[in-house]
Amino acid sequence: MGDLAMVAKTRLLVPGTIRERVLDRLKDTFDVVRIERADPALLARSEAATISGVAISGGFGAAMIEHLPALEIIASFGVGYDGVDVAAAAARGITVTNTPDVLNDEVADTTIGLLLNTVRRFPQAEAWLREGRWVREGAFPLTPLSLRGRKAGIYGLGRIGMAIAERLKGFGIEIAYHTRRPREGVPFAYYPSLAELAEAVDILIAIVPKTAETHRTIDAHILRALGPDGVLINVGRGWTVDEDALATALKDGVIAAAGLDVFYDEPNVPQALLDLPNVSLLPHVASASVATRDAMADLVADNLFAWFARGAALTPVPETPFTRKAGNGLESLR
């Protein structure tokens, strides 16, 4: 990556909390400035003018970007980067990076676990055992649902969606998908609309990012299309699901069950969902293993090392395809 000693005096801003491994990786190479949160009021203009890079886990808005006149790169912890005002960054020629690929397998594994928990009710079965009900009342009731003979629809066939599909194939489940455009070389059936996909499958797995186009797209209409044997799994963003419509659909038998790792207003989960027996709930843990979070932290740090030592980030988001020229000028990779 070049001579990192050349960037030893570069100042980086870390607002709020971030995985400690990021800080450990950065502290010997950069001058790291910490503030409580991404708020321009917490950083004097004189100090803000010295900041060349940012490492962030969470939001970073246009006001904060405007406050940092020398900013070149924002390294975001996570695959989703909707908390960063990418349009404001791109307008200034500031590179934004995320952490794709390193969490694909963990999220895909969690998706399969959540699907099994939802369909076969394994958490409830374990609670039955731990509460002594097996001894007192006998065997746990047979689960009305099974994975046998089902067809799964993946809403969002990106890197993680493909990893989920590969795992589902091992269960002998037929797979279909919906994205904005069909993917070349993919052997699964493509449906041009989410409604058509929901109509064709009885498991719907959502793994789309938070965008204006994905806001509450899984609504009462889609749930009715999924049908009374249908199972919804959401490991993407809570933003995608109309939670009121989902609670009603679960209560009224419009669909059979749901498994959710993400919610609209985290960490607040609607009581209507908590009260239902046919929903499996996880506290946004799809990538939450030490190994995966460490890999994400390493990629945040490595993006910053690569940018300042070599002149190009490792994983820039598509909206900011910039490189760093001599004298800190910027040019597009396009």
Could you list the active site residues? 237, 266, 284
Determine the Cα–Cα distance for residues 90 and 332; give it in Å rounded to an integer: 10
Say if CB 243 and CB 215 are below 8 A apart. no
Cα R_g (the chain), whole angstroms: 23
Give CA angle at 113 (126, 229), nearest 5°: 90
Question: Is residue 82 exposed (0-12), middle (13-18) or buried (19+ Cβ within 10 Å)?
Answer: middle
- Identify the sign of the CA torsion 268, 274, 279, 282: positive
| Selection from 31, 13, 23 nearest residue 73 by Cα | 13
User: Which conformational region is residue 185 in: left (phi greater than 0), alpha (psi within -120 to 50 degrees), or beta?
Assistant: left
- H and E: helices and strands count for the chain: 13, 14
For residue 61, give the amino acid letter. Answer: G
Phi, psi angles (nearest 5°) of residue 50: -95, -5
Q: Which residues contact 189 (CB under 8 A, 6 or more apart)?
A: 175, 176, 177, 200
Nearest partner of 111 among 231, 241, 250, 267, judged by Cα: 231
- CA-to-CA distance for 75 and 185, rounded, in angstroms? 32
CA 145 – CA 262 distance, rounded (Å): 23
The one-character DSSP state at 222 is H
